[in-house]
Amino acid sequence: MNSKRKNFVFVSCREDYLKKRREKRFSIDKKLLKWIKAINLNPILVTDIDQIYYFRYLKPLGVILSGGNNIDELSDRFKIEKKLILWAKKNKKPILGICHGLQMLAYLNKAKLKKIKNHVRIRHPIISKEKNFYPKVVNSFHNLGLFKAPSNFTVTAYAPDDSIEAIRHKKYNWEGWMWHPERDKKFNIKLILRAKKIFRNKV
């Protein structure tokens, strides 16, 4: 890794266990890496808590909590993401939670996730007063949803079934999207600009 490069961001990874191989693997969608590059950031993929300490000298601008997996308190991913959130809070850094990432922010702030129908592999409109920030229609790849805002968060977008699609923290520069910006065939310019503002602390 070239230490001269700037605009680093911590990125969490999905965690899977391969029974046949008896292997635990961390991974990330290459499309997400391309999207992160599109918002002018260089990802630091975090697969171990100690990396948060080791890579602090790169002065990461913030955290992206990636999609994939259900929340599992016993998983290494849960422990890593919890630590990343604490790091962001301590250092006053921005967080963008994508799908699972939004769910993680909500879960740690006393929100209840519920099973939800008709939100897997579809596209649907969203309802938001912040039309300059979000597209009119988003993709959907989740089977757990929220119907009540997490503690200390404001809802910024809803789906037509009243489930929550986007949230923002009332104090910290933390935002969560239930959709996957990287899975659009063409990256949405509104989301690119919004993400850039988040990591420049210009909310």
Domain for residue 192, yes or no?
yes
Domain for residue 128, yes or no?
yes
Find the mean pLDDT for residues 175-194: 96
Question: Does the pLDDT of residue 125 top 50, yes or no?
Answer: yes
pLDDT at 166: 97
Task: Count the Cβ atoms, other than its own, within 10 Å of residue 79.
Answer: 13
| Mean pLDDT computed over every residue of the chain | 93
Cα dihedral 174, 178, 23, 50, rounded to 10, equals 0
pTM given for the model:
0.93
What is the residue range of 134's domain? 8-199
Q: Looking at residue 127, which CATH number applies to its domain? A: 3.40.50.880
Domain for residue 2, yes or no?
no
Find the mean pLDDT for residues 80-84: 98
Domain for residue 1, yes or no?
no
- How many domains is the chain partitioned into structurally? 1
Question: Does the pLDDT of residue 138 top 50, yes or no?
Answer: yes
Of the candidate ranges 3-12, 34-43, 92-101, 177-186, the one whose mean pLDDT is the lowest: 3-12
Domain for residue 3, yes or no?
no
| DSSP bridge pairs for 144 | 115
pLDDT at 120: 86
User: How far apart (Å, rounded) are the C-alpha atoms in residues 43 and 29?
Assistant: 12
Of the candidate ranges 14-28, 40-54, 151-165, the one whose mean pLDDT is the lowest: 14-28
Find the mean pLDDT for residues 56-79: 94
Query: 81, 48 in Cβ contact below 8 A?
Result: no
Find the mean pLDDT for residues 109-135: 91
Question: Does the pLDDT of residue 107 top 50, yes or no?
Answer: yes
185-203 confidence digits (pLDDT tens): 999 999 999 999 999 855 5
pLDDT at 2: 45
